Structure 1
């Protein structure tokens, strides 16, 4: 067990199991919920994040899981790359935590490119609770 970052403010039931750091992002594993925080100015794409994705899948093994994009920083992504994420059978949904109205509108646009459950939230706690409900259903 690792100490939960203070900015996560999650329910006590959320236990941080592991942290994976790379040049483009940090991934926090709360059992079967992966909270991804991309670094400022990076471009997240299938190509740039492939090794991070493989490492994460190795950690999660065959468990069902939910991806939460905690958007604390400004970075770019191509929502068409969501088609690759959709092919992961154990991925049950994706949530975006936005910091601004522009972030909210971007998430609403991105939802059109993802054909599994997708939701956007103004805080990480709500996103985590949604992920738990999705996994426990």
Structure 2
């Protein structure tokens, strides 16, 4: 069963193996927003592995310095970025350098879902 919540700066959708975030236009994801996302994910998934899927349909920025903290999230199996935007892909390639977990970039949600399911089944 899918659960959807709005936490002000983004919308979260929860599935069995993954959580999809859609960050609002113009947001700058920094320590405060990252901690909120981690806390919600840890509460929802408890000790169950999950994949964080960032559905980048809006233009926003991420401070790459949040990724070392994100890497410490024990049950986070990996992170996927889904976008068609060239600039968002380039930004994600830079962000990938800061996360010490599997991190992939996809053009479609279906590709990200398949990767997430495979990652979870192999963990």
- Structure with higher Rg: it is 1
The 4+ residue runs of structure 1 with deviation greater than 4 A are none
**Alignment match of 1:130 (pick from 111, 115, 119):** 115
**Alignment match of 1:83 (pick from 68, 87, 92):** 68
- The number of equivalent residue pairs is 122
Shift of 1:46: 2.1
**Greater mean deviation of Cα atoms: 32-41 or 99-108:** 99-108
Distance 1:56 1:110 in 2: 20
Distance 1:100 1:55 in 2: 27
Distance 1:99 1:129 in 2: 18
**Structure 2: gaps spanning 5 or more residues:** none
**Structure 1: gaps spanning 5 or more residues:** 2-15
**Greater mean deviation of Cα atoms: 43-52 or 70-79:** 43-52
CA-based RMSD of the aligned residues comes to 1.2
Q: TM-score, normalised by structure 2?
A: 0.92
SS in structure 2 at match of 1:28: strand
The residue number in structure 2 matching 1:39 is 24
| Equivalent pair of 1:22/1:52 in contact (CA under 8 Å) | no
